[in-house]
Each structure stands twice: as structure tokens, then as C-alpha cells.
Amino acid sequence: MSVMRKIAVVFAVLFALLAVAAGIVYALFDAEAIKRQITEQVAAKTGRVLTIDGEVGLSIWPELAVRAGRVSLSEADGKTDFAAIDSLRVAVAVMPLLSGRLEAREIEIDGLALTLIKRRDGALNIEDLLAGQNEKPAIEAKPAAATAEDSQPLQVDIAGLALRNARFTWRDEAAGKTTQLSSIDFSTGRLQADSAAATLAIDALKLATRGSSGDDSFDFAIDMPAIRLAGQRLETPFSGNLGLVSSKLPMRSLKLPLSGKLAVDLAKASARLGLDTRLDESKIGLQLAVERFSPLLFDFDLKIDQLNVDRYLPPKPRADAGTARAQPSGGAPAPKGKADDAIDLSAINDLNFRGRVTIGQLQAQGLKVSTLDARIAAANGRLDISPMTARLYGGSLDGALGVNARGNVFTVRQKLAGVDIRALMKDAIDKEPLEGRGSLSLDVNTRGANADALKRALAGQAVLELRDGAVRGVNVGKMLRDAKAVLKSGQAASSTASATEKTDFSELTASFRIAGGVARNDDLAMKSPLLRLGGAGDIDIGNSRIDYLARVSIVETSKGQEGKDIAELRGITVPIRLRGPFDKLSYSLEVNDLLKDAAKAKVEEKKQELKQKANEKLQEKLGDKFKGLFGK
């Protein structure tokens, strides 16, 4: 008998055996018995109730196929559903299994619903299912050669995977929050894998879902047209979109289109991601390089042409004229911050990355900057931004910021040069106490559990230098006229600073030593053509108050009515006390000091007057004598 005939006989026998086996399986297949056996085993091993309401079907030729209708698994209490599916179908070709190949015609799951719950005590509703999973049974070690011989390469060829209309719910009972993913649709085209060649190819992977968390909702979709794994390296392009709807957003909703490329090196446990997106008018590009997965370490380069962060934040609440946190006149300290104002920096502890952020035009918290370039690094519970440079308000910024989660420590080192100080303070704090252009340097640090604690712990130093500006809210000329009235009446009146008044200067310099949230200044020097102003005092940042004594002296009087009004104050130093909360400053003349200085000035003026008269009389006598000498 020829070889071919022998082979044919063998195959004929095999087919005959398979036919007999198929007949036996069909004859013995009892769907209800199988349902009963499975549910009993699940109950015995997990204590949960498995319910199979739909039909269970089986076919074995030319493909091994299993299909089932409605199936559900209860929670541990046996009453509510933990997981359920509306239907599933798995179909695998029979003949390829004989040669170690898995060929699936289809794998479909429809209507999967899964609920995960975090209890108030922190336990999950799957704790009973996970029990014993960490206990690894002892396995007798096999020689390496035997293991290699026993392992067989696996080849997989699946026409497609499909997960349709799935739903996932995460409920955190401790936090009282529920997050839901609904309408989850996942599908792939052909999936091929070869364990011997270490290759994987997936065509047209798609994922789309919608979800909600509280009052917010979102939708997400991603499409990977081709995923390829070869030589321990996986690569795939992708595109998709992310949408968000939230009442907290001023515009209620936003959309982010996504496109890019992902590459993963499994051998080196590293990955690279290139991502491009748009946020309204903003073009955003991100390059991310993961150097290792565990513990996570990555580098990034983020480039944005323009970004208005304030557009996506709720408007800032307007401060009341008399803030509750201002220290009352009796000297009682401001109340401490509420517990819900606590600053939690614990997330920084797990960060480990380096990166660079460049933004062409940026607006955040009202501040507007351009050509921002910042280097960022995080490690060992620290987050540092250094160096950080930008252009802002006609000038430049150069400095660094630092945050340390251990102790909630913040550091700020900044040098602003050539900036328009009025425009900067208007956008930064919504107040305009100063005008002018110049420089401001800060080197401060603080620590605390909330914003109030940070202000009260502020320490360091600051230096201010301005040219051709004005102090707003204070009219020194008016104060000097008040001083003239004091000299006549001996009584002084206090006044409230007004935003419509100001005092011009040609030069202003001041330095501050900061400790315990209080900035101390004793070298203020303000110059104008008419006067000089110095001073010393405290700015209580922690309690938003000021107590400052300014001393004004006239060096020249101008022509006109105002100059005449204060001419008699020339040579007298006028002491002016500024005090009160930042948003309601008042000023008053220090009457005793003013009268003492005026008295000294009068005495000095009288001396000069007597000296002048004596000189005049001497000149008269000398003149008469000279006239006698010449015969007249």
C-alpha cells in the first residue's frame, strides 16, 4: 500500500472517530444538567449565586462553538447583581487545535454589566473572590530542559473580538461618589499572535464609551488602525477624541481631538508617546518618553502656542469690602483656615519625572505672560520649576519655584525687571496700589497646611525699585495741607485712603525683611521734584493689615496755589501714619511729632531771622562809616 493511501486511511479513520465523538456529545449534551452543575459548583466555591436564564447551546463541527443567553453572578449576599451578560458566543475552529493553533471565528460578548464597590471600611466587594489568590501552591521544579521541551509554541488567529453595550459602575461609599461608564463598545479586526516568533498583529482596534461622575459627564473614543509587535517592540498610530460636560466649566463643555503614535519596548520596559491635540484655539503637542515602568520615570516636552487657563475655570469670588479674615482693630488674630482648605501635597511623593513646558501666550489667574519656558523636575517628594523665564507686562521674569511635600514647604525666587507694576498688580491681586516701571525681586519661603497658614509663615526678603510712578490711594499734597491746618489748630483728623487719589514720584525704592508673615521695611525712599518721603513700618501679610509711619519733607515749592499752600511747611518733616486692613486703609498725622518739628523749625527760623537782622545792622553801620570817609 502506498504512503498516500496509508495517509488517506488514517485521515478516514480520524474523521470517522470525530464523527462518532460528535454524535456521542450531541446525544449526551443536556443543557439543563450543565446549568445545574455549573451553578452548584459556583455556589460551593464562592457562596455566590450564578443564574443562567438564557439558553445554552453547543456545536462541535466544523467549529467548536458555545453560546449562552442571560447569565448573572450575584454579590456575596446572594441578592443583588455583581456582574451580568446578556449573551456571549465563542466559536473556535476544530482542526487547527490538533496542530497547536487557536483559530477563533468570533468572540462576542453583549451587554456586560459590572459593579465594583468600595465599602466604608475600605474593603472591595470582590474580596471574597480574591481570597486565597495570593497563596501560590508549591510546584515541583522541573529541569530547564524538560520545561523547554514541554512548552509548545502557540499560534493564535482570531477573526475579531467584540464587546458591545457594556456597562461599568464604580461606587465609593466612603466618599459618597459614583462613577459610571456606559455604552462601552470595544472591537478589533483580525488578531494574530505567534509565541515562538514573539509577534502580534491587531487590525482596527476601536474603543468608545460614555460616562458620568456626579454632575459631570464625558465621552471617549480611540481608534488604532494597526497594532504591530515585533522583536519585543510594539508600535501603533492612533486617533480619537475626548469630550467633557460639566456645570463647573464656564462654557459647559469642551472637546479634545487626539492623534499621535505610541511605541513600547517590552525588553527595556520603556515607551514613547507623541500626542497632538487642540483645545479651542490652542495647539498642544506632547512628547513623552517613559524610561521605566516601575517605579515610573519619564521625561516630557509640552509645547502650547497659546492658552487661556481662566477660560476653563469658574470665576473667582469677589472679596467683600470687610473680609472676615482681616484682623479686627482690637488686635485679635485672624481665624485659622477651615479644614476643607487643607493643602494636600501627598501626590507629589510618588512623582518621578523631568520635563520642559513652553507656552507662547499664557493667561492664568488673571496674569498674562508670553514666551514662557519652564524646566520641571519631580523626585523624592519635591517638585521644582527651575529655571523659569517669561516676558510679562513690558518686562521679563527669571526665577524658580519649589514645593516639598514633606512639611508642605514652598519656595519662591523671582526677579522681575522692567515691568509695569500697576498692570501686574491689577491682574495678580485686583488692586492697583502702585504705578511705575521697574524691578521687583523676591526670595521667600513658607510652609503650612492651608492658605492662611502659608501667609502667616512667610519668610524671606524682597526689594522694590520703581521709576516715574505714583502711590495710589494716598495724596501727600492733601496730607501736607492737613498738616498746615494742624499747625494752626493743634488738632488732627484721620482720613480714609481713596482710590482716586495718588502721589506722583520720580523714584521709589524699598527693601523688606519678612518673618512670621510680617514684612518689615525701614528704608523707604521716594523722591519727586517737590518732596522727599521716607518711612518704616510693618505689612502684616498673614492678617492683611498695614501699620506704617511715613515722613514727608518739602524740598521745593511749586508755583501756583498748591505750592503757596504748603510753602510754610518747607523745612518741616510731616509724619503720616497709615494703618488698617489692605482694602480699607486710613491715614492720620502724628500731631505731637509734627508740632515738635514745627517748633524746632520756628526756633531755627527765629535764629536765622535774628542773625539776618544783625548782619543787616552791621552792614548799615559799615555803610555809614564808608560814607563819612568819602565826605558825604
One DSSP character per residue, 380-409 reads TTEEEEEEEEEEETTEEEEEEEEEETTTTE
User: Per-residue b/e over 360-395, b at no fewer than 16 CB within 10 Å?
Assistant: ebbbeeeebbeebebebebeebbbbbeebebbbbeb
Residue 272's DSSP bridge partners are 263, 289
Distance of alpha carbon 597 from alpha carbon 574, whole angstroms: 8
For residue 510, pLDDT beyond 90: yes
Per-residue pLDDT at 135: 52
Q: What pLDDT is attached to residue 13?
A: 43
Burial 181-201 (b: 16+ CB within 10 A, else e): bbebebebbebebeeeeeebb
Q: Which residues pair with 361 in a beta bridge?
A: 306, 370
What mean pLDDT value characterizes the chain? Answer: 79
All three cell numbers of 230: 515585533
Specify the range with the lowest mean pLDDT, choosing from 223-237, 316-330, 519-533: 316-330
Burial 564-582 (b: 16+ CB within 10 A, else e): eebeebeebbbbbbbbbbb
Mean pLDDT (whole number) for 31-55? 84
User: Which of 185-199, 246-260, 478-492, 608-622 is predicted with the least confidence, judged by mean pLDDT?
Assistant: 478-492
The residue ranges of every structural domain in the chain are 15-126+153-214, 224-315+345-369, 407-608
- The per-residue pLDDT for 442 is 94
Cα–Cα distance measured from residue 114 to residue 83, given in angstroms and rounded to the nearest whole number = 4
- Structure-model confidence comparison of residues 12 and 238, the more confident one: 238
Q: Would you state the cell numbers that stand for residue 280, as one nine-digit string?
A: 479651542
Q: Taking 60 as the threshold, does the pLDDT of residue 374 lie above it? A: yes
Residue at 398: amino acid letter: D
* Rg of the Cα atoms in the chain: 41
Query: What's the CA gap between 577 and 203, in Å, rounded?
Result: 78
| pLDDT for position 14 | 44
DSSP 248: T
pLDDT of residue 478: 65
Alpha helices in 29-120 (DSSP H): 31-46
With bands split at pLDDT 50, 70 and 90, how would you rate the model's confidence at 154?
confident
Cell digits for 560? 501756583
Residue 333 φ/ψ region, left for φ over 0, alpha for ψ in the -120 to 50 degree band, beta for the rest: beta
Q: With contact defined as beta carbons under 8 Å apart, do 92 and 104 qualify?
A: yes
- Which element (helix H / strand E) includes 347? none
The three cell numbers locating residue 313:
475655570
Instruction: State in Å, rounded, how far the first CA of the chain is from the last one.
Output: 173
Residue 145 CB neighbours (<10 A):
8
Contact of 110 with 184, CB cutoff 8 Å = no
Query: Which residue is listed with cell 485672624?
Result: 334
Cβ-Cβ contacts under 8 Å for 296 (sequence gap 6 or more): 290, 352, 353
Residue that wins the pLDDT comparison between 119 and 139: 119
327, 333 contact by CB (below 8 A): yes
- At residue 338's C-alpha, the angle toward residues 333 and 341, to 5°, is 120
- Report the C-alpha gap between 8 and 275 in whole angstroms: 58
Q: 3-class SS at 328?
A: coil
Give the separation between CA 236 and CA 74, rounded to whole angstroms.
Answer: 39
At 455, give phi and psi (nearest 5°).
Answer: -65, -40
Q: For 341, left (φ over 0), alpha (ψ -120 to 50), or beta?
A: alpha
- Which of 5-19, 102-116, 417-431 has the weakest average pLDDT? 5-19
Mean pLDDT for 39-53 is: 87
- Residue 213 has a pLDDT of 86
Q: Which helix (H) or strand (E) holds 445?
A: strand 434-447
- Angle subtended by helix axes 591-629 and 476-489, to nearest 10: 80
Extract the runs of DSSP E, i.e. beta strands, from 293-423: 297-308, 353-364, 367-379, 382-392, 395-404, 409-420
Asked if pLDDT for residue 46 goes beyond 90, the answer is no
* CA atoms of 433 and 410, how far apart (whole Å): 26
Give the number of other Cβ atoms within 10 Å of residue 512's Cβ.
21
Q: Is 80 exceeded by the pLDDT of residue 50?
A: yes
Per the model's pLDDT, the better-predicted residue between 391 and 33 turns out to be: 391
**Are residues 564 and 575 in contact, defined by beta-carbon separation less than 8 angstroms?**
no
Kindly report which listed range (108-122, 394-408, 581-595) carries the lowest average pLDDT score.
Answer: 581-595
Task: Report DSSP state, residue 43.
Answer: H
pLDDT for 145 equals 47
Place of cell 506722583: 504
> Does 603 score more than 60 pLDDT?
no
Q: Cell 501626590 sits at which residue?
A: 347
Ramachandran angles phi, psi of 28, nearest 5°: -90, -15
Query: What average pLDDT score do residues 150-158 get?
Result: 72
Copy the grid coordinates of residue 157: 488567529
- The pLDDT assigned to 397 comes to 95
The residue with greater pLDDT, 96 or 491, is: 96
For residues 388 and 375, is the Cβ–Cβ distance under 8 A? Answer: yes
Residue pointed to by grid coordinates 491681586: 429
Task: Give CA–CA dist 343/451, Å, rounded.
Answer: 8
pLDDT over threshold 90, residue 486: no
Judge contact between 420 and 396, C-beta under 8 A: no
